[in-house]
């Protein structure tokens, strides 16, 4: 288990965000359909979140499906959505048992009404739980900012500020991610947390998401505590 560097000069790692990537490549390597990678990746996601919370991290965010992922072949999108729906059905019980407070980041509009209702119910019923788990589905960082501005405009606001925009983001009221981790070797954000990531630290690993384990989290946390965060100032 990783340990936090309690050295007062280091900012405590409170919020860690994961771009789970490489499910498809993991399956391909085994001669399996891409969908099998998503099934395995979903299990990894729960394990990783639990491990982070056990280690004293307050908030875990996971990028599960982007606004661009609808471009994938229909059978893959369908398989991901079916997997998502089955997780939601088990979700309320599992989240409660694990003391997780779930928020879905993203536009819920394209989901069918039953799925939407379930997402909202999980958010409501887990609201008093201790550990903050954000699941980004149908999430796009640019879309999130546009949505925030439109919401403000619909209230008649014409003069914007960072605080006002932040108050309408899907992550309103939450701390920005201290650390963003991406698996599977790609060195990009792919439209993840565009607004919130301006001063995040980054950690990239070649490990494919379904293989991502405790030692990968440990390595990411170690990397985080080796950094000096200046936020534009002088340390």
> Minimum Å distance from CB 194 to ligand IPE?
13
Choice between 69 and 103, CB closer to ligand IPE: 69
Asked if 106 is part of the footprint of ligand IPE (rule: CB under 6 A), the reply reads no
Residue 133 binding: pick among Mg ion, ligand IPE, none (C-beta 5-8 Å cut-off by kind) = none
Would residue 69 show up in a list of annotated catalytic residues for this protein? yes
Round to whole Å and give the CA distance between 153 and 155: 5
Given 5, 58, 69, 176, the catalytic residue: 69
Closer CB to ligand IPE, 62 or 148, in the complex: 62
Burial class (CB in 10 A: 0-12, 13-18, 19+), 124: exposed
Closest CA to 176 of 202, 199, 145, 147: 199
Active-site residue, 23 included = no
Q: Does 22 contact ligand IPE by CB under 6 A? A: yes
User: How far apart are CB 111 and Mg ion at their closest, in Å?
Assistant: 21
Token readout for 224 is: 């985080």
> Which helix (DSSP H) or strand (DSSP E) does residue 156 occupy?
none
Report which DSSP code applies to 233: S
Task: Give the whole-angstrom CA distance, residue 61 versus residue 102.
Answer: 10
Pairwise CA distance, residues 30 & 47, whole Å: 22
Among 44, 61, 67, 69, binds ligand IPE (CB under 6 A): 69
Residue 134 contacts ligand IPE per CB under 6 A? no
Q: Does 25 bind ligand IPE (CB under 6 A)?
A: yes
The minimum distance between CB 198 and Mg ion, in angstroms, equals: 24
């Amino acid at each position: 288990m990783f340990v936090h560097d309690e050295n007062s000069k280091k900012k405590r790692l409170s919020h860690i965000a994961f771009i789970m990537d490489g499910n498809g490549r993991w399956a391909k390597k085994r001669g399996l359909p891409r969908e099998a990678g998503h099934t395995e990746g979903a299990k990894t996601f729960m394990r990783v979140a639990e491990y982070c919370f056990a280690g004293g991290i307050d908030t875990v965010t996971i990028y599960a499906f982007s606004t661009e992922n609808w471009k994938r072949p229909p059978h893959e999108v369908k398989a991901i959505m079916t997997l998502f729906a089955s997780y939601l059905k088990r979700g309320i019980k599992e989240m409660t048992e694990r003391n997780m407070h779930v928020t879905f980041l993203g536009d819920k509009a394209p989901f069918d009404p039953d799925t939407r209702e379930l997402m909202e119910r999980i958010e409501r019923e887990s609201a008093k739980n201790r550990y903050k788990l954000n699941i980004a589905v149908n999430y796009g960082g640019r879309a999130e900012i546009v949505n925030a501005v439109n919401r403000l405009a619909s209230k008649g606001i014409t003069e914007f500020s960072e605080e006002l925009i932040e108050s309408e983001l899907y992550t309103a009221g939450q701390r920005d991610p201290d650390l963003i981790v991406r698996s599977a070797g790609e060195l990009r954000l792919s439209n993840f947390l565009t607004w919130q990531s301006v001063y995040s630290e980054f950690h990239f690993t070649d490990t494919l998401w379904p293989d991502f384990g405790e030692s990968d989290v440990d390595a990411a946390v170690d990397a985080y505590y080796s950094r000096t965060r200046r936020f534009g100032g002088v340390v």
